[in-house]
Amino acid sequence: MSKMNSDRLVLISVLAWAIVPPILMVFGQASSDSQVAENFVAHYIDVFAQWGIFGAVIGFVFAFLTYWLNKKDWENWLKIGTLFMICFLGLMTYQGLQFALYYLPLCLIAPVVFFICRKRLPRG
């Protein structure tokens, strides 16, 4: 079985986990607070400063899991489902069930990165 290009996998995963969660969090705050909506960029920078490094670490962990799962002889839908469930459990462990449900779209980051790397990136 051919392997994913691990350098690009790590880069995409780390960037996705560092950049996307702050966007979703600030977007969630902006929908309920007009002051946040007016200063979206400033609030994004604040949240990015808090979440960025943590998100990058999560991204690196999920890049490793994605690479490891890719080497397994399972169906792709099972690998994607496993990544989704691990993401959900990670979010639930971080802040509880309500947090995980509210930020459920974050659970799609690792499966999407898996899909992109599996379909688009050169193997090697």
pLDDT mean values, one per 10 residues, the chain (124 residues): 71 92 84 82 88 88 90 88 91 81 88 83 50
Q: 40-71 vs 6-30: helix axis angle to the nearest 10?
A: 140
Do the beta carbons of residue 80 and residue 38 sit within 8 Å? no
What is the predicted pLDDT for the residue at 1? 35
What is the predicted pLDDT for the residue at 4? 67
